[in-house]
Amino acid sequence: MAAFTVISEPTAAGPAPMDLDRCVHCGLCLNACPTYRELGLEMDSPRGRIYQMVQVANGGPLTPGYLEHIGLCLACRGCETACPSGVPYGRLVEAARAEIESRVRRGWRDRWLRRFVFRHLLPSRVALSVAGTLLYLYEASGVKALARSTGVLKLFGRLGELEQLAPSAEPPFFFSQIGRTFPAKGNRRYRVAFLAGCIANISFARLGEATVRVLQRNGCEVVIPPGQGCCGALHVHAGLREEARHLARRNIDAVLGGDYDAVLTNAAGCGSTLKEYQELLAGDRHYAGKAQQFAALMRDITEFLASIHLNLEMGPVRATVTYQDSCHLAHGQKIRGAPRQLLSRIPELQFREMPFADICCGSAGTYNVIQNQMSLQILSTKMQSANATGADVIATANPGCMLQLQAGVRLHGSGQRVMHVVELLDLAYRNF
């Protein structure tokens, strides 16, 4: 645990007593929790973490142990699904982290890194484009391949391990599409806005294009609203709620008044936060109502496509496919059927359910960077499940999970392809 000092009374409210009181300590959530499954420790289970939150809420100190156990939580919300008492665990852990953030002064390195990533990199198109270009040069120059093949990265210790999880750059970046409108193919049935996120513009630019194509094939006029930006999900997970509010207002202004039937994302992690803007902005008298309107329009791409009359003019995709639930889709948004239903519509695609498909893969936003060891341990377990299916494609519905699973294939896999559900649909349409 990095050095820290407790500096003040909280400026952010911690977990609400009303939410904490809902836990009846039954333990039914324990086996749904990836960290408990790996470590077998009560303090790293949902029930144990809630117990520790109660101690702090009752005036107990913020100890290094508390920070560690809360930090090791993936915020995957698997426990929320398992809990019969309706404990809103996602809300609890976000509030616990916001309280920690407001009371703890971290070491200078941590503070500098967090300020750079959360305030200067993620919200800025220019900064992300520069970072993406540098990443591309690192890959295109052959340095990346050389570093991996010679094993030199091992000399850099933790930095070397993190490199395995680093995204690739996919020029031309999707930023170049922001502000454009793409017409529907055939009759226009819907007018939708697509929010492309932040890092996904750099590392999943082809996925963004595939998303637009699939929507066009389904009678959608697709607008990429010019004022959009990072959704703030990573900020919320890190306890930086004020910064997240700023980003939420920006996205709301970019979308409302655009006469859209739906606002879409292809990133389940972003969608979960985008759908909760009304909670984030509940105390903002100018934006609380607008946030509600925004959240009412917000849909995950799989949720939207499964809800409309899907264009079935698809060609065959001859692949055996398994599906990894993205936590923020399955547990955060309660969407499990839609991606599976879409896969079942693709001709000749063989589907094989993987065991424990809704247990987190260890990606969890920036978790795989900050809690790298635990993330890799969880990933190794996940790959045993994926390998057991014998599938040659691992599908999922979140770019963050795709990155993690790609690393999983490199480390423990058998050459599987990792694809978004939308990319498989796009392939089927192109094969028609």
Decide: is 34 part of the binding site for ligand SF4 (CB under 6 A).
yes
CB of 252 closer than 8 Å to CB of 197: no
Q: Which of 10, 27, 71, 160 binds ligand SF4 (CB under 6 A)?
A: 27
Binding mask 140-179 for ligand SF4 (x = CB under 6 A): ----------------------------------------
Give CA–CA dist 68/73, Å, rounded: 9
Decide: is 132 part of the binding site for ligand SF4 (CB under 6 A).
no
Q: Which of 15, 20, 32, 193 binds ligand SF4 (CB under 6 A)?
A: 32
Q: Following DSSP, what letter does each residue of 311-357 receive, concatenated?
A: ---------EEEEPPPHHHHTSS---HHHHHHHHTSTT-EE-PPTTT
Which lies closer to ligand SF4 via its Cβ, residue 228 or residue 363?
A: 363
**Contacting range for ligand SF4; rule: CB under 6 A; set: 33-41, 244-252, 345-353, 400-408:** 33-41
Decide: is 16 part of the binding site for ligand SF4 (CB under 6 A).
no
Residue type, 248: A
Q: Which of 14, 88, 89, 260 binds ligand SF4 (CB under 6 A)?
A: 89
Distances (CA, A) of 172 to 80, 201, 205: 39, 9, 7
Please give the backbone phi and psi of residue 300, each rounded to the nearest 5 degrees, phi first: -70, 150
Decide: is 75 part of the binding site for ligand SF4 (CB under 6 A).
yes
Q: Which of 77, 213, 241, 249 binds ligand SF4 (CB under 6 A)?
A: 77
Furthest-apart CA atoms within the chain: distance in Å: 64
Which lies closer to ligand SF4 via its Cβ, residue 52 or residue 341?
A: 52
Decide: is 33 part of the binding site for ligand SF4 (CB under 6 A).
yes
Decide: is 26 part of the binding site for ligand SF4 (CB under 6 A).
yes
Provide the 8-state DSSP code for 187: S
Decide: is 14 part of the binding site for ligand SF4 (CB under 6 A).
no
**Contacting range for ligand SF4; rule: CB under 6 A; set: 2-10, 78-86, 101-109, 274-282:** 78-86
User: Under rule CB under 6 A, how many of the chain's residues touch ligand SF4?
Assistant: 27
Q: Following DSSP, what letter does each residue of 240-253 receive, concatenated?
A: -HHHHHHHHHHHHH
Give CA–CA dist 76/84, Å, rounded: 17
CB of 202 closer than 8 Å to CB of 230: no
Decide: is 29 part of the binding site for ligand SF4 (CB under 6 A).
yes
Decide: is 408 part of the binding site for ligand SF4 (CB under 6 A).
no
Decide: is 74 part of the binding site for ligand SF4 (CB under 6 A).
yes
Cross-strand partners of 394? 322, 418
Give CA–CA dist 65/67, Å, rounded: 5
Q: Which of 87, 248, 280, 330 binds ligand SF4 (CB under 6 A)?
A: 87
Q: Is 105 helix (H, G, I), strand (E, B) or coil?
A: strand
Decide: is 97 part of the binding site for ligand SF4 (CB under 6 A).
no
**Contacting range for ligand SF4; rule: CB under 6 A; set: 29-37, 259-267, 315-323, 378-386:** 29-37
Residue linked to tokens 């093949």: 149
- Find out whether the peptide bond into 172 is cis, omega within 30 degrees of 0: yes
Decide: is 41 part of the binding site for ligand SF4 (CB under 6 A).
no
Decide: is 405 part of the binding site for ligand SF4 (CB under 6 A).
no
Residue type, 199: I
Helix pair 241-255, 288-297: axis angle to 10 deg: 70
CB of 25 to ligand SF4, least distance (A): 5
Neighbours of 283 (CB within 10 A): 9
Decide: is 78 part of the binding site for ligand SF4 (CB under 6 A).
yes
Residues engaged in binding ligand SF4 (CB under 6 A) = 23-29, 32-35, 46-47, 49-50, 73-79, 82-83, 85, 87, 89
